[in-house]
């Protein structure tokens, strides 16, 4: 397997483990992350094949320019630990289990991953874990979940499952989505405090313009990335997470002002440039150059 580096995490493309051709296509896509799905999406009799395909994909496909994440069934499922051991041998970047409710679920997963790493001779702590926030109980505990383990790398919003549990009605209005603002805000706050990535839910329609607008909404909310169910949405997601031209003009002028050797002349619009402005400007310029 090729040596892999941690990539940007703007886009996460979901692909079912039971479909080998889809796994091959996803690994060659422009997505920053490929989500290999082992929780659902195929009949029970296909599970052995899905497990075999997923491990084969990790072993044989080129992941040098992206990350491979794998989602399993809930950690309390009797077969999850066995499947986890099989998949970890293929060295995914991050693993997570469905239907997380509390920090305890993360701690249990952490222990299971640690045991697998020891048994497989994998460097301890090298596998990240994550959590999908798709239950009301998980939302209530999102801060604790985000901080439950040093391995935590990301939390992700599961909007459709959450709708069933929370009881909100999805409007489908791109860029507004008032019914999920509270949930999204809590997730972004928890993720930022824990210094981990926060990925928004997928846009479920096919139109590319709507998908890009929805991704721009995610970026404005403070998410670091977004899930996609089609590779066609990846380019729009990446554009949405780039700084706007207006932001870049501002950032470059701030950087230029900050380089003035005279502190009293470090001004923009007749105001002194502060440390927070400089830090944000450098972040935007750096993001645009990636």
161 has binding-site annotation: yes
Which positions ≥6 away from 64 have C-beta within 8 Å? Answer: 2, 3, 4, 5
118 labeled binding residue: no
Q: Which two tokens stand for residue 104?
A: 């305890």
Name 84's Cβ contacts closer than 8 Å, sequence gap at least 6.
72, 95, 112, 113, 116
| DSSP three-state, residue 62 | coil
Say if residue 55 carries a ligand binding annotation: no
- CA-to-CA distance for 210 and 142, rounded, in angstroms? 29
Number of helices (H) and strands (E) in the chain: give both, helices first. 12, 10
Q: Is 179 exposed, middle or buried (0-12, 13-18, 19+ CB in 10 A)?
A: middle
The β-bridge partners of 152 are 129
Annotated binding site: 71, 134, 161
Annotated binding site for substrate: 71, 134
Annotated binding site for Mg(2+): 134, 161
């Amino acid at each position: 397997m090729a040596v892999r580096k941690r990539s940007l995490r703007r886009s996460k493309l979901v692909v079912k483990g039971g479909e080998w051709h889809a796994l091959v296509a996803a690994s060659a896509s422009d997505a920053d992350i490929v989500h290999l799905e082992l929780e659902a999406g195929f009949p029970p009799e296909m599970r052995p094949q899905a497990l075999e395909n997923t491990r084969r994909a990790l072993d044989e496909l080129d992941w040098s320019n992206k990350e491979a994440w794998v989602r399993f069934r809930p950690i309390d499922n009797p077969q999850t630990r066995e499947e986890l051991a099989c998949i970890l041998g293929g060295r995914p970047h991050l693993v997570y289990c469905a239907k997380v409710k509390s920090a305890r679920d993360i701690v249990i997963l952490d222990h299971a991953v640690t045991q697998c790493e020891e048994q497989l001779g994998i460097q301890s702590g090298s596998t990240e874990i994550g959590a999908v926030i798709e239950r009301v109980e998980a939302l209530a505990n999102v801060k604790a979940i985000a901080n439950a383990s040093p391995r935590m790398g990301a939390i992700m919003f599961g909007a459709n499952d959450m709708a069933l549990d929370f009881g909100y009605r999805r409007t489908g209005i791109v860029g507004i989505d008032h019914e999920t603002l509270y949930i999204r805000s809590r997730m972004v706050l928890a993720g930022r405090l824990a210094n981990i990535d926060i990925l928004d839910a997928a846009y479920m329609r096919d139109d590319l313009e709507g998908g890009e607008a929805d991704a721009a909404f995610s970026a404005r909310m403070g998410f670091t990335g977004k899930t996609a169910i089609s590779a066609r949405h990846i380019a729009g997601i990446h554009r949405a997470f780039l700084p706007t031209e207006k932001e870049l003009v501002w950032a470059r002028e701030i950087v230029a002002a900050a380089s003035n050797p005279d502190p009293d002349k470090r001004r923009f619009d007749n105001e002194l440039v502060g440390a927070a402005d400089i830090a944000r400007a450098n972040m935007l310029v750096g993001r645009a150059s990636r």
